Homo-oligomer: A and B are copies of this chain.
Amino acid sequence: MDQRSPKAHISCAIESAKALLGERLSTSASVRQHHGKDLTWNDGTAPDAVAFVASTDEVQKLVQICAAEKCPLIAYGAGTSLEGHFAATYGGICVDLSGMNEILEVNAADMDARVQAGVTRKQLNAALRDQGLMFPIDPGADATIGGMASTRASGTNAVRYGTMRENVMGLTVVMADGRVIKTGTRARKSSAGYDLTRLFVGAEGTLGIITEVLVKLHGIPEAISAGICAFPSIEACCNTTIEAIQSGIPLARIELVDAEHIKAINAYSKLSMPVAQTLFVEFHGTKAGVAEQAQHFAEIALANGGGTIDFVTKEEDRLKLWQARHDAFWATAAMRAGQQEAFSTDVCVPISRLAECVVETQKDLAESEIYGPIIGHVGDGNFHVAIFCDRSNGADVLRVKALYGRLIDRALAMGGTCTGEHGIGSGKRDYLAKEHGEAVDVMRAVKLALDPFNLMNPGKNAGP
Q: What is the interface of chain A, defined by CB distance below 8 A to chain B?
A: 107-112, 132, 151-154, 158, 162-163, 165-166, 175, 179-183, 185-196, 198-199, 201-203, 207, 219, 221-222, 242, 245-248, 250, 285-286, 288-289, 292, 296, 348-352, 380-382, 411, 415-424, 428, 431-432, 435-443, 445-450, 461-462
Cβ–Cβ contact A382 & B187, under 8 A: yes
Asked if A182 meets B450 with Cβ closer than 8 Å, knowing A190-B348, A420-B190, A443-B196, the reply is no
> Across the interface, which residues of B come within 8 angstroms of A207, CB to CB?
194
* A460 CB, min distance to chain B CBs, angstroms: 11
Cβ contacts under 8 Å, A382 to chain B: 187-189
A202 touches B196 (CB 8 A): no
A239 to chain B: closest residue by CB: B109
Q: Are B181 and A438 in contact (CB under 8 A)?
A: yes
Q: How far is the CA of A348 from the CA of B190 in the complex (A)?
A: 7
B450 touches A245 (CB 8 A): no
Contacts A187-B349, A198-B198, A417-B190 given; does A450 touch B445 at CB 8 Å:
yes
CB pair B348–A179 under 8 Å, yes or no, is no
* Complex A-B: 30 CB contacts under 8 Å: A109-B350, A109-B352, A110-B351, A132-B246, A151-B191, A152-B195, A158-B189, A165-B195, A181-B442, A187-B349, A188-B350, A189-B382, A189-B420, A190-B348, A190-B420, A191-B424, A192-B419, A192-B423, A192-B432, A193-B435, A193-B436, A193-B439, A194-B202, A194-B203, A195-B199, A196-B442, A196-B443, A219-B246, A222-B247, A445-B450
Chain B residue numbers with a CB within 8 Å of A132 are 246
> Complex formed: what's the CA distance from A440 to B350 in Å?
36
Q: What separation, in Å, do the CA atoms of A414 and B406 have in the docked complex?
A: 52
Question: CB-CB < 8 A to A153: which residues of B?
Answer: 191
Complex Cα gap A185–B438 (Å):
14
* Smallest Cβ-Cβ distance to A439: which chain B residue: B181
Contacts of A110 in B (CB 8 A): 350-352, 381
Contact (Cβ within 8 A) B348 A193: no
Contact of A420 among B109, B191, B247, B436 (CB under 8 A): B191
Q: Are B286 and A187 in contact (CB under 8 A)?
A: no
Taken together as a complex, chains A and B put the C-alpha atoms of A438 and B183 apart, in Å, by 10
The 9 closest A-B pairs by CB, nearest first: A449-B449, A186-B415, A190-B417, A109-B352, A198-B198, A187-B348, A181-B439, A191-B423, A186-B350
- The answer to whether A462 and B421 touch across the interface, beta carbons within 8 angstroms, is no
